[in-house]
Amino acid sequence: MREGVAAMEGVKSGRDGLRIYALLWCLGLYLRLTVLVVPPLIPQLKAVLAFTGGEVAIATSLPLVTLALGGLAAGWLLARVGVLPGMLLGLATMAGGSALRSLPEGFLAMMAATVVMGMGIAFMQAAMPVLAKLWAPGRIGRASAVYTNGLLVGELLAAGATGPLVAAWLGEQWQWAFALWVAPVPLLMLTLAVGSRRLPATGRGSSSAELVLPALNDSRMWRLVTLLGAAAALYFTGNVFLPPLLEASGRLALLSPSLIALNGAQMLSSALLILYADRLMGRPRPLVAIIALALAALPLMLWLPGLHVVWAAGVFGFFTSALFIFVLALPAWLVRVEALPRLMGGVLFFGYLLVFAITVLGGWLSDLSGTVALAFLPTLLISLMAMASIRHLLASRQRGA
């Protein structure tokens, strides 16, 4: 991996840089797209498959559990086969699992396919910071913002276009939306395999690599877990509980524009951070302000009347996106590349287990109380904890990172 860093230092801006950012963007597109197909299909899941509110929350957030479990194996996988083969395996597993979700007609069968899909996303998620650091060591913030922009475009496509796609083309065959979205993945895999040949080395695998567990005494890891928990919980609870919020207030017709606003505003913040992320990296005040503003947007999204919910969802999405970009960039900024797979394994494992628990707990609180607003209470608590840990986290950067 050190050879990849050294090689990248000699790469000048131009075609190689554009190729790097284009590949990172396309890979980012599938980090969340298949997960966010579920929220627009919530009415069908409830009406046709009789999913409860808690089951809908599980269906949406179960990939987070597999992201967690897959995170433990991802570091070993990257060390054993190399970063590029690990990414290709992740793409294939993600696409296959998502396509299988078109076949089942029950909750348990769909969850089994979702687990397979989530394992693939886990491999991809662990590889992305390593690729960003190897391919763009002097522009980690920008590289992270680029692939996060792709991630957000994928979320926007899934959240905003799935409903119209089902209405216009699929109709009663709505479950085939899960397979339709991953149809281009084989082409992406071919492009990655061919296009990466002219890029710096991505590290070679070793058949003697062993599974290394996260360092439980690493305070840096736990602070990153808290920050990831806040960022992902804000985003997932916003997408999962916005549909029942609109349904309860008789505004279900605003679901598609609200999801588009929530996810579309994130593209604006990611575009801005492509320019400014590296300047802001390592400064605690911007991170604290971003979390505070995202929390301040929650009451607006919950209680503003009429069409104002669309604008409030956009404000919420803008700041949650900015927070998520910094969370994805920070591990590569904090530690040297050889320490990154182990750190990412721990952050993914504990962080996404935390997010899953927060999302499901929010769903249960909503079901038990009949008040959608209570679904955001666990997210509020973890966000406050993250704000308190930021300064110590940034001060823990390794020399030479």
N-terminal to C-terminal alpha carbon distance within the chain: 13
The candidate with the shortest Cα–Cα distance to 131, out of 332, 343, 348, is: 332
Please tell me the predicted confidence (pLDDT) of residue 206.
Answer: 47
Question: Could you tell me the two tokens for 257?
Answer: 């524009």
Sole residue written with tokens 């947007």: 297
Please tell me the predicted confidence (pLDDT) of residue 384.
Answer: 94
Residue 82 bridge partners (DSSP): 204
The whole-angstrom separation of Cα 88 and Cα 252 is 39
Question: Tell me, which fold does domain 2-394 have in CATH?
Answer: Growth Hormone; Chain: A; (1.20.1250)
Domain ranges of the chain: 2-394
User: Exposure string (b/e) for 353-370, b if CB count within 10 Å is 16 or more?
Assistant: bbbbbbbbbbbbbbbeee
Please tell me the predicted confidence (pLDDT) of residue 61.
Answer: 67
The candidate with the shortest Cα–Cα distance to 83, out of 207, 195, 203, is: 203
CB 82 within 8 A of CB 266: no
The candidate with the shortest Cα–Cα distance to 72, out of 354, 348, 330, is: 348
Please tell me the predicted confidence (pLDDT) of residue 47.
Answer: 67
Instruction: List, for residues 327-340, the tens digit of each pLDDT value.
Output: 989 998 998 887 88
Q: HSE of 384 in the Cβ direction (CA atoms, 13 Å)?
A: 6
Instruction: Report the 10 Å Cβ neighbour count for 300.
Output: 15
Please tell me the predicted confidence (pLDDT) of residue 198.
Answer: 64
Q: Which residues of the chain have pLDDT under 70?
A: 1-14, 47-51, 53-54, 57, 60-61, 64, 104-105, 197-212, 399-401
Instruction: Report the 10 Å Cβ neighbour count for 117.
Output: 25
Please tell me the predicted confidence (pLDDT) of residue 58.
Answer: 74
Instruction: List, for residues 316-371, the tens digit of each pLDDT value.
Output: 889 998 998 999 899 989 988 878 878 888 888 898 888 878 878 888 887 888 77
